[in-house]
Amino acid sequence: MSIKKGYFGLYGGRFVPETLMPALEELDKVFNIARKDKNFINEFESLLKDYVGRPTPLYFAKRLSEHLGGAKIYLKREDLAHTGAHKINNALGQALLASKLMKKDRIIAETGAGQHGVATATGAALVGLSCDIYMGTEDIRRQSLNVFRMNLLGARVIPVDTGSRTLKDAINEALRDWTTNVRTTHYVLGTVFGPHPYPLLVRFFQSVIGKEAKKQLLNKEGRLPDVLIACVGGGSNSIGLFSAFLHDKDVKMIGVEAGGKGIETGLHAARFAGGAKGIFQGCLSYVLENEDGNILQTHSVSAGLDYASVGPEHAYLKDTGRVKYTYANDEEALEAFELLSRLEGIIPALESAHAVAEAIKIAPKMSKDSIIIVNLSGRGDKDVQEVARIKGGDGKTKI
């Protein structure tokens, strides 16, 4: 895997306006200094422990495992991290970079499900930077609770009412802002996507998930898992989990995209099932686009998976066969959302429910001494209102 020049095999790169090149070069330089700087790493790790609440637990889902009647299912509880999702790991790391080493006055971010926006606003409050968050108006409707949380934390949420009014459009506006204000502003990109060095930088800050999970399972079971499962939007929670196990050949990995209303309908965000190689928002990866190269509209019940492309490392891992990629549709995700809530008293984010849906499919086919780790990337408080709207007053799903 060639990552020296910002590529994972064929994928990645840096496809941006010339005005952003100096900022990306600066970020690359600062990131390479920071990850070897003991003082920076010590401060970051101290905050992960005392502020974020790491390590997050690896929880044996006993009732879910018994209900499915197959493999033992462990949940990596990123939903228990401060702000309620894995996003805080990366947002905090980048906020420290911006304030301590880059001396920026302001940070900006994009958000879909709102968890990255909340995490970035939290990081900005902690280090004392001003913060603007771009968010599509459709996502603002779906995630009104997180909008209030961002405002409460001192951030300004800027509505984006163009295109599909979702994450893709929010990223476009954030990139325009950064191009204009590059000297004073750092863009906290929320996933393992975009121009180099973002895929590597975000991977670095999220790798704590896999390192912890590996150590925790070895302590509990004395061995490695058989299967890892994580949802894939841009792909940071999944890369965070997978990264520690990539060289463990006997550990299978499954990334779960958003199947929406079905691949055949065109209303989905399954880039590997319905996309092709293309350049989008700063890098080369798999993209949902038409024959003319125009980006297709996407759909998912989960705002955080509702995106037209995927991180370049995922594209590499898919092509090499190291990770299997599949999808769960809206209905399967909603069923998993309800099942985990009822059996374990844990309400997952709709994004994470896609990963749970895959575990529901494969666990019964596996032996009882097999082990699955599902990355529970976030909690579902933010989604309860939207699920209630979808299901309606009669309790029947309407999607």
Flag whether pLDDT at 398 surpasses 90. no
In a domain, 24, yes or no: yes
Length of the chain: 399
**Same domain? 264 vs 287:** yes
∠ Cα 6 355 236 (to 5°): 20
Q: How far apart are the first and last CA of the chain?
A: 41
In a domain, 14, yes or no: no
The domain that holds 330 is classified in CATH as 3.40.50.1100
Asked if 352 is an active-site residue, the reply is no
The pLDDT-based confidence of 397 (bands split at 50, 70, 90) is: low
Over residues 219-251, the pLDDT tens digits come to: 999 999 999 999 999 999 999 999 999 999 999
Flag whether pLDDT at 194 surpasses 80. yes
In a domain, 151, yes or no: yes
Asked if 309 is an active-site residue, the reply is no
**Domain span at residue 189?**
19-49+87-198
Q: Which residue out of 65, 285, 309, 377 is catalytically annotated?
A: 377
Query: Which pair of tokens denotes residue 252?
Result: 């299978």
The pLDDT score that the predictor gives to residue 367 is 98
Asked if 87 is an active-site residue, the reply is yes
Domain end among 132, 165, 198: 198
Over residues 321-375, the pLDDT tens digits come to: 999 999 999 999 999 999 999 999 999 999 999 999 999 999 999 999 999 999 9
The pLDDT score that the predictor gives to residue 373 is 99
Rounded to the nearest integer, the mean pLDDT of the chain is 95
The pLDDT score that the predictor gives to residue 232 is 98
**Same domain? 163 vs 220:** no
Q: Which residue out of 87, 104, 214, 382 is catalytically annotated?
A: 87
Query: Mean pLDDT over residues 88-113, rounded?
Result: 96
Domain count, the chain: 2
The pLDDT score that the predictor gives to residue 292 is 87
Q: Which residue out of 110, 138, 344, 351 is catalytically annotated?
A: 110
